[in-house]
Amino acid sequence: MAVERTFTIIKPGALQRRLVGEIISRFETKGFRILGMKTLKIPKEIAEEHYKEHVGKSFYKPLLSYMTSDPAVVMVLERENAVESLRKLAGATNPDSAEPGTIRGDFGVTTKKNIVHASDSLESAVREIDIFFNKNEIINYSDSLKEWY
Ligand code: CMP
The CATH number given to whatever domain includes residue 100 is: 3.30.70.141
- The answer to whether residue 146 is domain-embedded is no
Residues of the chain with pLDDT under 70: 145-146
The whole domain housing 55 covers 3-138
Helix, strand, coil proportions of the chain in percent (round to 5)? 45, 20, 35
Q: Give the chain's domain count.
A: 1
Is residue 148 in some structural domain?
A: no
> Is 74 a member of any domain?
yes
Distance 144 CA to ligand 1 centre (A): 36
Q: How far apart are CA 94 and CA 114, in angstroms?
A: 7
Taking only the tens place, the pLDDT of each residue in 83-116 is 999 999 999 999 999 999 999 999 999 999 999 9
Question: What pairs with residue 5 in β-bridges?
Answer: 78
Residue pair 131/48 in contact (Cβ under 8 Å)? The answer is no
pLDDT of residue 143: 78
Pairing of strands 3-10, 72-80: antiparallel
Is 62 a domain residue?
yes
Residue 149 lies in a domain: no
71 belongs to a structural domain:
yes
Which of 23, 36, 117, 129 does the annotation list as catalytic? 117
> For residue 105, with 0-12 CB atoms within 10 Å meaning exposed, 13-18 middle and 19 or more buried, which class applies?
middle
Q: Which atom of ligand 1 is nearest to the CA of 51?
A: 5
Whether 147 maps to a domain, the answer reads: no
* Å from CA of 1 to ligand 1 middle: 29
Q: Is residue 145 part of a domain?
A: no
Task: Of 119, 45, 17, give the one whose Cα is nearest residue 75.
Answer: 119
